[in-house]
Amino acid sequence: MKEVQVEFEEQIEQLKSYLIAEDINSFREKFLELHVYEQSQVYLSLSKDERLRAYNFLSPNEMADTFEILEEEEESVEKYLEEMNPQYAANMLSEMYRDNAADMLNQLEPYTIKKYLSLMPKKDADGIKKLLKYEDDTAGSIMTTEYISIFANQTIQSAMAILKKKAPEAETIYYVYVVDATRKLVGVISLRDLIVHEDDEMISDIMGDRLISVNGNDDQRDVARTMQDYDFLAIPVVDDEERLIGIITVDDIMDVISDEAASDYSGLAGVDVEERSENPFVVASKRLPWLIILLFLGIGTSTLISNYEEMISKASILAVFISLITGTAGNAGTQSLAVAVRKLADNDENKRNFKKLIISEIASGLITGVVTGATIFLAVGIWKENFVLGSVIGIAMLVAITIANLAGSFIPILMERIGFDPAVASGPFITTLTDLTSVLIYFNIAALFMEYLV
């Protein structure tokens, strides 16, 4: 694997040398031999001057293949497009699959979008406009309108003629969708069925009419779960009148799944894990709001501890175990949070039984609290030769973990019910909140045993 990487790096340097020498023939020959992913990696490695030369060496159609892979490089797309000749950029976008072109254009300012659309062929511009009207994170925003549809009253022979004609422009041909005269979706047929059946058979006789489709306004996460459940390579998208308006392919769904996983992890970590900027000021500005909020919550914990200064002065040993209890409770709360966020992401109503989830987390909190509490009771009792102190810490641990489990499961559910993203209930937030409650629990339990601790 390492040898392959070294060889590829040598190819990149060779291609750069062709650009510098303006050896267009050698550059094109070597570049176009590469896999499209490798072409994108070559492109990303080029300086601005080298990219400007590459635009002169490659046609908009050839550059479109490379840019299909770059659609997720959100911060770079605008920069790349701006350095191109506007007509070249518009031609390149029109050569891309429309859903990918729409994704790229959605990252630009409205006036810039209009500029590129005005420079495109009307047919391509109109197709992209249809996708741009959908809200982000909906089925319509990730669908493509480049699909193949046929009619139920056709023969396989005539359907295959349409397939051969339209296949070069279609994003996938593994499924062919059947519509009626009003474009209403009535069936689906696989490429395999078209091949194995006789030419004179009717589409209506062999198509499948048990249809699974999604609406253009459906949430993309629901679409992803449907495609996962049914193991589809593509799924049709319909409007409110059940008319076929596009399809969503598995490659787009893989992007959705990846984005949702990153979003959930970002929520648990309290930071955008997809942050690409290397500017420390930009990175800091995006992380500071959460840290400031958590700082004030932390001040609340410190203020609470200060209210127990007199108790700590009488039994200073209590201060030793504050971080132990808050840390353990915070970890338990984060575990519960992860389970709750996963349940919220599940489309199966049977699995989204939140009452059962909360009861289960309280029960597991009690069990882990008892075991952890008993362990720390023995450890502290033997270590400090004070089983009363061990009892205080053990009981506090039990209650703190149980409350943390309840908070970790209940808060994200509450967030969703009142219309907020459950990811707002991030790991750091739950941890800081459990710090506050754990300190309150710890010192109130210690107050009951003070006469035995001093």
CATH number, domain at 183? Answer: 3.10.580.10
The residue out of 136, 164, 198 marking a domain boundary is 136
The residue out of 136, 164, 185 marking a domain boundary is 136
Whether residues 218 and 340 fall in one domain: no
- Sheet of 149-151: strand order equals 149-151, 175-179, 185-190
Q: Collapsing DSSP states into helix, strand and coil, what is residue 43?
A: helix
What pLDDT is attached to residue 17? 92
What angle separates helix 86-95 from helix 110-119, to the nearest 10 degrees?
A: 80
- B/e letters for 280-299, b = 16+ CB within 10 Å, e = fewer, are eeeeeeeeeebeeebeebee
Q: Is 260 within the bounds of a domain?
A: no
- The CATH number given to whatever domain includes residue 45 is 1.25.60.10
In angstroms, the Cα distances linking 78 to 56, 61, 71, 89, 109 are 19, 19, 11, 11, 9
**Structural domains in the chain (count):** 3
Whether residues 179 and 32 fall in one domain: no
What's the pLDDT band for 357 if we cut at 50, 70, 90? confident
C-alpha angle 200-238-133 in degrees, rounded to nearest 5: 135
User: Residue 37, exposed/middle/buried by CB under 10 A (0-12, 13-18, 19+)?
Assistant: exposed
Residue 269 CB partners (closer than 8 Å, separation 6+): 426, 427, 428
Whether residues 299 and 372 fall in one domain: yes
For 212, the domain range is: 149-252
Lowest mean pLDDT among 289-298, 319-328, 345-354: 345-354
Q: Is 391 within the bounds of a domain?
A: yes
Is residue 205 over pLDDT 60? yes
Q: Is 264 within the bounds of a domain?
A: no
Give 160-192 pLDDT, tens digit per residue: 999 998 888 888 888 899 999 889 999 999 889
* Separation of alpha carbons 217 and 88, rounded Å: 33
Is residue 222 over pLDDT 90? no
In angstroms, the Cα distances linking 101 to 116, 128, 338, 366, 436 are 11, 7, 35, 53, 49
Is residue 37 over pLDDT 80? yes
Q: Is 271 within the bounds of a domain?
A: no
What pLDDT is attached to residue 8? 84
Number of other residues whose CB lies within 10 A of the CB of residue 56 = 11
Whether residues 43 and 156 fall in one domain: no
Instruction: Give the rounded percent of residues in the chain with a pLDDT score beyond 70.
Output: 85
First vs last Cα of the chain: how many Å apart? 66
Is residue 323 over pLDDT 80? yes
Q: Is 141 within the bounds of a domain?
A: no
Whether residues 7 and 124 fall in one domain: yes
In angstroms, the Cα distances linking 294 to 229, 273, 298, 339 are 39, 19, 6, 22
Whether residues 224 and 130 fall in one domain: no
The residue-averaged pLDDT of 256-272 equals 58
Give 45-85 pLDDT, tens digit per residue: 999 999 999 999 999 999 998 888 776 555 578 889 999 99
Q: Is 268 within the bounds of a domain?
A: no
Q: Is 87 within the bounds of a domain?
A: yes
Whether residues 107 and 227 fall in one domain: no
Whether residues 22 and 95 fall in one domain: yes
Is residue 351 over pLDDT 80? no
- B/e letters for 99-120, b = 16+ CB within 10 Å, e = fewer, are bbbbbbbebbeeebbeebbebb
Lowest mean pLDDT among 263-267, 389-393, 404-408, 415-419: 263-267
Whether residues 307 and 386 fall in one domain: yes
Whether residues 305 and 361 fall in one domain: yes
The residue out of 136, 164, 193 marking a domain boundary is 136
Tokens of 453: 């601790």
pTM for the full predicted model: 0.60
More confident residue, 281 or 147: 147
- The CATH number given to whatever domain includes residue 299 is 1.10.357.20
Q: Is 275 within the bounds of a domain?
A: no
Contact 226, 219 (CB under 8 A): no
Helical spans, DSSP H, in 345-426: 354-384, 387-417
Exposure of 102 in the CB half-sphere (CA atoms within 13 A): 25
Lowest mean pLDDT among 84-88, 212-216, 337-341, 375-379: 337-341
Whether residues 118 and 154 fall in one domain: no
Tokens of 170: 């279609």
Is residue 6 over pLDDT 80? no
Please name the helix (run of DSSP H) or strand (run of DSSP E) that holds residue 234, with its range, or none: strand 234-238
Whether residues 117 and 236 fall in one domain: no
Exposure of 368 in the CB half-sphere (CA atoms within 13 A): 20
